[in-house]
Chains A and B, each alone.
Chain A
Amino acid sequence: KQEVTQIPAALSVPEGENLVLNCSFTDSAIYNLQWFRQDPGKGLTSLLLIQSSQREQTSGRLNASLDKSSGRSTLYIAASQPGDSATYLCAVSGFGNEKLTFGTGTRLTIIP
Chain B
Amino acid sequence: DVKVTQSSRYLVKRTGEKVFLECVQDMDHENMFWYRQDPGLGLRLIYFSYDVKMKEKGDIPEGYSVSREKKERFSLILESASTNQTSMYLCASSFWGQGTYNEQFFGPGTRLTVL
What is the CB-to-nearest-CB distance from A63 to chain B, in angstroms, rounded to a whole number? 18
**Separation of A42 and B33 alpha carbons in the complex (Å):** 17
A43 / chain B contacts, CB cutoff of 8 Å: 4, 90, 106-109
CA distance A104 to B103 in the complex (A): 19
Complexed CA–CA distance, A100 and B97 (Å): 16
Instruction: List B71-115 residues whose CB lies under 8 Å from chain A.
Output: 88, 90, 92, 94, 96, 101-109, 111
Report the count of interface residues on A (CB-CB < 8 A): 22
> Are B101 and A49 in contact, CB atoms less than 8 angstroms apart?
yes
A31 to B33, CA, bound (A): 18
Q: Which residues of B contact A41 (CB under 8 A)?
A: 88, 109, 111
| B12 at the A interface (CB under 8 A) | no
Q: Mark B19-45, 1 if CB is under 8 A from A, else 0.
A: 000000000000101000000111101
Q: Are A98 and B94 in contact (CB under 8 A)?
A: yes
**Chain B contact residue count (CB 8 A cutoff):** 26
What secondary structure prevails in chain A residues at the interface with B? strand
Q: Quick check: A42 and B108 within 8 Å, CB to CB?
A: yes
Within 8 A of A (CB), among B38-60: 40-43, 45, 48, 50, 58
Query: Closest residue to A1 on the B side, CB-wise?
Result: B59
Q: Which residues of B contact A (CB under 8 A)?
A: 4, 31, 33, 40-43, 45, 48, 50, 58, 88, 90, 92, 94, 96, 101-109, 111
Give 3 closest A-B pairs by Cβ, nearest first: A44-B106, A104-B42, A102-B43
Known: A44-B92, A98-B94. 18 other contacts (CB 8 A): A34-B103, A36-B106, A43-B4, A43-B90, A43-B108, A44-B90, A46-B103, A46-B106, A49-B103, A89-B43, A93-B102, A98-B31, A98-B96, A98-B102, A100-B45, A102-B43, A103-B42, A104-B40
